[in-house]
Amino acid sequence: MNWRNFSGKNVKLPITDEIRLRLIEETGNNIKLCIGTDSQVKGSTTEFATALVFIREGKGGFIYHKSYQTEQKYSLKERMILEVADSVEVALLICPVLDEFNVELEVHADINTNPQFKSNVALKEAMGYILGMGYTFKAKPEAFASTYCANKVVK
């Protein structure tokens, strides 16, 4: 699983080193990171994509993403929880770097808060998982990192 930047170019360094160098370049900007994962089932394959969306307050942002495919079959609830687990795994990996630079972190879940939608079946578990890990939780419609950014990678 290679990380890529927004234009699709492979990141050659470990993602923690890449983020550290980028945040050094961004000194003076107020940065927030939103992490989100989305998945799509395509026949017998499920593709997962995680997006790291760095937002510069008042000055745009930048994105890194990675994706992988599996032949494993999942229920909808399992797939939603795996999306959250992928996001939390990345958050755990990069949090030491974010702490160095005082970067705020949100974990976005591609789960609808409206019970009329199927993905809502995993809302309580996903929220408990993310909040229990100490992260800020966002779900649809506020979860743009998963709903829009990661979604673009798996389409």
Dump pLDDT digits (tens) for 84-128: 999 999 999 999 999 999 999 999 999 988 889 888 889 999 999
> With 70 as the cut, is the pLDDT of residue 155 above it?
no
> With 90 as the cut, is the pLDDT of residue 15 above it?
yes
58 vs 13, higher pLDDT: 13
Tell me the per-residue pLDDT of 42-62, one tens digit each, with 9 for 90 and over. 999 999 999 999 999 988 999
Q: At what angle do helices 15-25 and 76-100 cross, to 10 degrees?
A: 50
Q: How many CB atoms lie within 10 A of CB 55?
A: 21
Contact 133, 105 (CB under 8 A): no
Q: At what angle do helices 123-132 and 76-100 cross, to 10 degrees?
A: 20
pLDDT at 148: 62
Tell me the pLDDT of the chain averaged across its residues: 92
Q: Which residue has the tokens 């630079």?
A: 101
Contact 110, 147 (CB under 8 A): yes
What's the Cα-to-Cα distance from 70 to each of 39, 97, 128, 151, rounded to whole Å?
11, 29, 26, 17
Q: What is the DSSP letter of 2?
A: -
pLDDT at 152: 67
Strand partners, 49: 38, 67
Average pLDDT of span 130-148: 89
Contact 62, 22 (CB under 8 A): yes
| pTM of this prediction exceeds 0.85 | yes
